[in-house]
Amino acid sequence: MKELVIAPSILSLDYANTSEQLKELNESNAKWMHFDVMDGHFVPNLTFGPDILKGFKKCSDLFMDVHIMVDNPEMISEIFVKAGADMVTFHLEAVKDIEACIALCRKIRAAGVKAGVSVKPKTAVDALLPYLSEMDLVLVMSVEPGFGGQSFMEDMLDKVRKLRKEIEANNYDTRIEIDGGINAETGKLAVEAGCDTLVAGSYIFKQNIKEAVDSLLCQK
Ligand X SMILES: O=C(CO)[C@H](O)[C@H](O)COP(=O)(O)O
Nearer to ligand X, 135 or 182 (CB): 182
Q: Say if residue 215 carries a ligand binding annotation.
A: no
For 91, phi then psi, to 5°, come to: -95, 135
- Name the site residues for ligand X (rule: CB under 6 A): 9, 11-12, 34, 36, 143, 145-150, 179-182, 199-203
Q: Say if residue 116 carries a ligand binding annotation.
A: no
Nearer to ligand X, 116 or 201 (CB): 201
The CB-nearest residue to ligand X is 201
What's the rounded Cα separation, in Å, for the pair 78 and 14?
A: 28
Least CB distance from residue 12 to ligand X, whole Å? 5
The three-class DSSP label of residue 105 is helix
Q: Say if residue 14 carries a ligand binding annotation.
A: no
Q: Say if residue 91 carries a ligand binding annotation.
A: no
Residue 149 zone, left/alpha/beta (φ > 0; ψ -120 to 50; rest): left
Residue 153: how many other CB atoms lie within 10 Å: 16
Active site residue 36: yes
Least CB distance from residue 164 to ligand X, whole Å? 21
Nearer to ligand X, 4 or 102 (CB): 4
Active site residue 179: yes
Q: What is the DSSP string of 43-65?
A: SS-B---HHHHHHHHHH--SEEE
Looking at the annotation, which residues are catalytic? Answer: 36, 179
